[in-house]
Amino acid sequence: MKKYIAILLSLSICATLTGCAKSTDMQEKTFYAMDTFMDFTIYGDAALLDDAEKLISTLEDTLSVTKSTSEIALINQNGYGTVTGYANDLMTKALNMCHRTDGALDISIYPIVRSWGFTTGRYQIPDDNTISNLLSLVDYTRIQYNSSSGDVVLPAGMEIDLGSVAKGYAGQKVADLLKKEGITSAFLNLGGNVQTIGNKPDGSPWQVAIKNPVTTKPMMVVSVSDQSVVTSGGYERYFEQDGKWYWHIMDPTTGRPADSHLLSVTIIGDDGMICDGLSTSLFIMGLEKSAELWMQSDDFEAVFVTDTEEVYITDGLRERFALTEEYNLEQDAIRYRLKECKVPKIQALISMYNDVQERMHNAAESDPEATWNENAENTALLAEYALDFAILAADRALLLSLKAIQEQKEASKIELQQNNLV
């Protein structure tokens, strides 16, 4: 099974450009940058494609850990330095993403990734001692960084890499540039990282196909407008040794390829950098923790494919996806799993509800008079959680009722068939 998946795994994102209104203004360009082929389609001045490519080149020269003259590479070489412009901006955002994901994304994991050979192409399995020693250097909280000055100081031996968010950031910056120049419709494919501007020229949303990671065939199409779509999966870079497959997405807690029981994670949102960082982070975190983070967030939606070939889709995509013809027979099952993705969400609500209650109790015991305002706020928060819980519970009950009705229909059909046979 491992070998089969590794060979066929190709969850990727592709645009459905057909059906666009014909336009003589459509311009296209393909080029190689950031270790991948990029395909840009815009409706407007062709010269802007050259500007977009130049911006990508500038970002790569500034951010790439493998370019010895980049600001990031120089900091790794010296243990200190200063990031400016784009590098300073992305450094701030990357560290925020590290905090947001509680370290699932850690920009200091670069030595671990390199030890497995994913930066050099000389693949190997590091021994336990090597992994243990390198893990002692993985901790983004130990990075000394002043966002105002851009000054960075690393602990001895630590190295950083912004690659986990760089392509998403680049796509967003190119989109910002094109919008500033008046482009209102564009599709930017940065090696699987998709960034869209506006809608298609005919006014309809862009259609982005998401493939099944096992069959490599498109299983659904997601409608997006002025958003980013980013997928992470083990199929992107991997190697085989002794019949086992090892992919490049490393768990910062183990120093080994992430084993979260997910085959792929697709993130849809307004910010390309956030989508890029979350696609990697959630792949490491696994389904349940990812669902909890989604519940606490309002800036992304997601599609998860598990190693048991189950598909989970967050609620915000309910009206924005369509199954391909091949998967129509599985539509009910996928929609059911969409609903079931709320189970961890309900569990998280319960957990937060209990946490707020405990905090109120502790505050009341320590200083009853000083906590009236705090308790009022907490009570309001509890009410909000309770309402959310009630809505989700009702939704779940409706789903189960519909499922029960369907099962009753099936049972009646079978009984009728049996009677006819008799």
What residue segments make up the domains of the chain, in order of their start?
2-327, 343-421
Q: Which residue type does 375 have? A: N
DSSP 152-212: EE--TT-----HHHHHHHHHHHHHHHHHHTT--EEEEEETTEEEEEE--TTSPPEEEEEE-
Most confident of 279-293, 316-330, 373-387: 279-293
pLDDT reading at 349 higher than 60: no
Most confident of 111-125, 179-193, 325-339: 179-193
- The average pLDDT across 402-407 equals 67
Cα(16)–Cα(295) distance, integer angstroms: 30
DSSP 95-135: HHHHHHTTTSS-TT-HHHHHHTTTTTS------HHHHHHHH
Q: Of 6-20, 272-286, 326-340, where does mean pLDDT reach its minimum?
A: 6-20
For residue 59, the surrounding DSSP H or E stretch is helix 47-63
Cα(306)–Cα(206) distance, integer angstroms: 26
Instruction: Record the tokens describing residue 98, joined without a space.
Output: 């590290």
pLDDT reading at 355 higher than 90: no
Cα(194)–Cα(204) distance, integer angstroms: 17
**pLDDT value, residue 118:** 84
DSSP 209-268: EEE-TTT-SEEEEEEESS-EEEEEETTSSEEEETTEEEES-EETTTTEE--SSEEEEEEE
Strand order in the sheet with 144-145: 80-82, 151-153, 144-145
Q: For the segment 212-259, what is each residue's pLDDT rounded down to a tens digit?
A: 877 777 888 999 999 999 998 876 666 777 777 777 889 999 999 889
CATH topology of domain 2-327: T-fold (3.10.520)
The larger pLDDT score, comparing residue 3 to residue 131, is at: 131
**pLDDT value, residue 22:** 40
Residue entry with tokens 């970002």: 59
